[in-house]
Amino acid sequence: MHPAIEAALELQQFLDGHGQKFCIIGGLAVQRWSEVRLTVHADATVLTDWDEAVTDLLFGSSCLPRHADAREFALRNRVLLLKNAKGTHVDVALGAMDFENRSVARSSFWTVSKTVKLRTCSAEDLLVHKTFAGRARDWVDIEGILQRQGLKLDLGLVCSELKPLLDLKGTPESMDRLAALCRANELHFPGIL
């Protein structure tokens, strides 16, 4: 089994066992909704009391902290940086925003193999995550999602979720860039002319 998938499955089993609400995001979700690409770590969003989640993951899971100040870093930056027993990096975003709650609620299972199903975010929520992050790799991933999912995407949902996040971040121009990519793929992006 691929190390990132194995790490995500271990995390999922731990979170399920502790009744946590979560979904897998990042490169593994890209593999579901776009194209198979190399990813060397697992990413997830977890909805819970931050202090409780950090304590559970640091002391109850098989994952180890990647830094000595992992707890303080997580509570300050909303992301817990871990690694599993085999050294695969696992980044756990501590969800708090309404969008993150809705994203987890919209998540569904992806059948990776006969024995592995991972709960990932939707294609629309992945577009929101990737556009918000806005790194060069994210824009490549966005292009792939648009090409592969096309007319199946609810771009109205993407627009309504993304706009307040980009306004909060102060990068509304990312909405224009996403709209341009949609137009290039012959998709209508609502709210943008």
**CB-based contact 91:80 (threshold 8 Å):** yes
Residue where a domain terminates, one of 73, 103, 121? 121
Structure tokens at 137: 């790799």
Domain-located, residue 62: yes
Q: Residue 176 is part of which domain span? A: 124-184
> Based on the structure, what is the number of domains in the chain?
2
In a domain, 48, yes or no: yes
Work out the average pLDDT over 128-135: 97
Q: Based on the domain organization, do 92 and 20 belong to the same domain?
A: yes
Has residue 138 got a pLDDT over 50? yes
Q: What is the pLDDT of residues 5-40, one digit of tens each?
A: 999 999 999 999 988 999 999 999 999 999 887 788
Residues 40 and 135 in one domain: no
Same domain? For 99 and 128 the reply is no
Averaged over 152-159, what is the pLDDT? Answer: 97
What CATH number is attached to the domain comprising 87?
3.30.460.10
CB burial of 59-87 (b: ≥16 within 10 Å; e: otherwise) equals eebebebeeeebbebbeeebebbbbbeee
State how far Cα 187 lies from the chain centre: 23
Q: pTM value?
A: 0.93
Neighbours of 180 (CB within 10 A): 12
pLDDT recorded at residue 54: 80
Tell whether 192 is covered by a domain.
Answer: no
Percent over 90 (pLDDT), the chain = 79
Q: Which of 80, 104, 121 is the last residue of a domain?
A: 121
Residues 137 and 116 in one domain: no
